[in-house]
Amino acid sequence: MGAGNGTGPTGPEVLFEFTQVGVQMRVAAIDVATATEVVVIAPAAASRGHMEALALAKLRRRLAQEQ
């Protein structure tokens, strides 16, 4: 985690929030530096890594659109 600048050793710091809703998982990805948040819905049976990758890709796409 970065020291106040919102970046970590591998790039921008991103927080993930997982909330199970029935047989689905709601995954929020939040960019710490900009407070930009995106949400994806995935099957609860999907791996945590796949859900994070999907949410991170959507977040990166959103951040690129905002530039």
pLDDT for position 63: 95
pLDDT for position 10: 55
pLDDT for position 11: 65
| pTM for this prediction | 0.81
Mean pLDDT by 10 residues, the chain (67 residues): 42 92 98 96 97 97 93
pLDDT for position 12: 79
Contacts 24+ apart (CB under 8 A), 5-13: 5/33, 6/31, 6/32, 6/33, 6/34, 7/33
